[in-house]
A and B are shown apart, each in its own frame.
Chain A
């Protein structure tokens, strides 16, 4: 075994031991546990026997008081007139412990195995991806394969439920879609939507080796309509509005007292000069010499400041994401930090604050 591999194996083993100790030697269950609040959802159909459409209301709502059927215990309501399930809302260990101390027999908060497994999987995925900072390795490749599979399916599902069902199937076959997916759908069929359906089927022909050429038709339609929309959209929203916003007064007076506002005037002058000089730099039909060259140079300086700002923001965004991932690892998974006191019961937080305040005072 190479020396480097040996060192990393020892580091990994030590890390695993620390992880197991941290996870198991805790007073209130293993680190990385998730807790949920079980919220019963109970609904009753209060429609009259003659009505075709059912009318469902929450059994626990104030509206239920107006109906006789809701006066009886939920279990006594005929099965075809009631529906119920449990919704599990995110909770904290602190809330669980607080309720456990008061009434352990009727504690609505409980440990969630599925979400605990989720936290552990998310943590390992995070570590697998970060392992690439050392070098490419099988763990990173596993995570990478999952990214590809999950992401492709995620966008397919989003496209299906958010676009294909309501905007395509819902327009062509509303009665059928109403039966299984969108119960409240009340609109007549619109057969113009057969056009995108046909184009969509042609697009899928790309998967067939012989029929791939026909997928150019829907692609051509998409490109044509996009070009048409973008041409007017960009000219209207970007070109004209940016020019309009740049036509601003260069001598500004304070509206409250009528005095000369030198800062607003200077800002506006810089904006006008900056836009014009940067546009001169983008104008390549004349050689950048003499006055044009100097103006273009000024334009480059403005553009450099803009690129610097964009770069700064990009780096900052990525660092913020990195910090969020670290917070997830140390807070949600390892329970080494607890910035918003989620794992301490509220009374203890109050006590902690009061003692801290007393200490400071």
Chain B
């Protein structure tokens, strides 16, 4: 029962949607399924929040190393949750000014907006911006122009990086108009529109075939890894 019913649910859910795709009258089922999927994804966020609380509260109660950081995590979590779910300092909508909760939870000036603007945005943006250093450092250590393929990869990356900056104009801006095609900004465009398009198309065709094959394996019950281990 623990494995058979999930396999049955997977097959029914998937095949109904595939069949519905070929019957015009039932094509709306895909949209309904997408909404149900969104609902379950939103509930999965609740699950994620619950799990976060569970793990960090346990860490605090056990006084494990770094438990003070867990306190900070929980405070940040609860503060953001309260500000967002309670629409704190969020004005009502203009159509229904008499209803306190009719406004958007992201309204400028609300507590949730404040947390997004001054905590979420700078924190995540800085985290991602730091990758610039690590990508560059990893590239410096790992990339070596030791064969033709590596030279192609490095050369393309270098041209793309230069071609989209003001440096492109300094390097090749002096070329006469009859040689305009060799200017770095134009070389970048050619790479993106011709060579990159060709490579990306092949990759996308490969991905589509891979997704189709994996989906069939899942729907036919050949791939059951998503059910996890254990006896059923």
Contacts and interface: CB of A to CB of B under 8 A. Distances in A.
Contacts of A56: 94-98
Contacts of A87: 91, 108-109
A97 interface: no
Of B192, B205, B227, the most chain A CB neighbours within 10 A belong to B205
B175 interface: no
B9 A130 contact: no
A21 interface: no
A71 interface: no
Interface string B50-89: 1110100000000000100110111111111100110000
B120 A204 contact: no
A196 B212 contact: no
Nearest to B54: A207
Contacts of B85: 157, 160-161
Interface string A176-203: 0000111110000000110111011001
A274 B77 CA distance: 49
A149 interface: yes
Given A121-B118, A325-B122, A325-B126, A149 B80 contact: yes
Contacts of B227: 216, 220
Interface size class of A (residues with CB under 8 A): 35 or more
A156 B39 CA distance: 12
Interface stretch (A103-111, A138-146, A349-357): A138-146
A309 interface: yes
Of B45, B112, B193, the most chain A CB neighbours within 10 A belong to B45
Interface of A is mostly: helix
Contacts of B121: 122
A7 B29 CA distance: 66
A41 interface: yes
Contacts of A234: 207-208, 211-212
B43 interface: yes
B152 A156 contact: no
A325 B154 CA distance: 27
A168 B32 CA distance: 12
B21 to A, nearest CB: 5
Interface stretch (A238-246, A251-259, A339-347): A238-246
Contact of A302 (B40, B77, B195, B218): B195
Contacts of A213: 2, 230, 232
Contacts of A204: 43, 46-47, 50
A23 interface: no
A101 interface: no
A4 interface: no
B220 to A, nearest CB: 10
A319 interface: yes
B16 A228 contact: yes
B135 to A, nearest CB: 5
B136 interface: yes
A38 to B, nearest CB: 11
B78 A153 contact: yes
A143 B125 CA distance: 12
Interface of B: 2-3, 5-7, 9-18, 21, 30, 32-52, 54, 66, 69-70, 72-81, 84-85, 91-99, 101-102, 105, 108-109, 112, 114-133, 135-136, 139, 148-150, 152-161, 164, 190-209, 211-212, 214-216, 218-219, 226-228, 230, 232
Interface of A: 41, 43, 45, 54, 56, 58, 83, 85, 87-90, 114-115, 118-119, 121-123, 125-126, 129-130, 132-133, 141-164, 167-168, 180-184, 192-193, 195-197, 199-200, 203-204, 206-207, 213, 216-232, 234-235, 238-239, 242-243, 245-246, 267, 270-275, 278-279, 281-282, 299-309, 311-316, 318-319, 321-322, 324-325, 328
24 contacts: A56-B97, A88-B109, A90-B108, A121-B118, A146-B72, A146-B123, A154-B120, A158-B45, A161-B85, A183-B95, A199-B40, A220-B6, A223-B226, A224-B13, A227-B218, A229-B37, A235-B212, A271-B198, A274-B195, A275-B205, A304-B152, A322-B132, A325-B122, A325-B126
